[in-house]
């Protein structure tokens, strides 16, 4: 009889514990380091210099005749002089840097006010 009473008490205790409402109080918690860093830099330097100099000289002499006691003619005389100078200078400089960081271990319990970075 004592065994039956003990079994009935154990079963009654189990039924009572199962009948109680179960609840959990979870505090919203976030853990992790969602980190995103992006750095960009672009530098460009350009300098141009141009100088041109051109000189021309031309002397043309046509045949001529003179009338008088003696007539003579001169043959053509052509003189040409040319001077040309050109100077071109160019300097270019370009520097480009780019970096990207991304870190992601993430744990969230409950309705955490800190959102994850797109990975749900």
Q: Residue 115 falls within a domain, yes or no? A: no
Q: Residue 116 falls within a domain, yes or no? A: no
How far apart (Å, rounded) are the C-alpha atoms in residues 96 and 86?
Answer: 34
User: Helix, strand, coil proportions of the chain in percent (round to 5)?
Assistant: 15, 55, 30
Residue 120 has what pLDDT? 45
Residue 85 has what pLDDT? 95
- What is the count of structural domains for the chain? 1
Residue 16 has what pLDDT? 86
Range of the domain at 94: 2-109
Residue 67 has what pLDDT? 60
Residue 21 has what pLDDT? 78
- The reported pTM is 0.37
Residue 77 has what pLDDT? 76
Q: Residue 10 falls within a domain, yes or no? A: yes
Q: Which residues of the chain have pLDDT under 70?
A: 24-32, 63-75, 108-120
């Amino acid at each position: 009889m004592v065994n039956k009473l003990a079994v009935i008490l154990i079963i009654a205790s189990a039924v009572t514990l199962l009948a109680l409402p179960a609840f959990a109080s979870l505090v919203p918690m976030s853990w992790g380091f969602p980190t995103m860093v992006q750095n960009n830099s672009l530098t460009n330097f350009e300098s141009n210099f141009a100088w041109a100099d051109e000189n021309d000289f031309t002397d043309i002499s046509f045949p001529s005749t003179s009338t008088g006691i003696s007539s003579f003619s001169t043959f053509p005389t052509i003189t040409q002089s040319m001077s040309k100078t050109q100077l071109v200078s160019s300097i270019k400089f370009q520097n480009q840097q780019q970096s990207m960081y991304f870190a992601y271990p993430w744990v969230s319990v409950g309705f955490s006010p800190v959102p994850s970075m797109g990975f749900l």
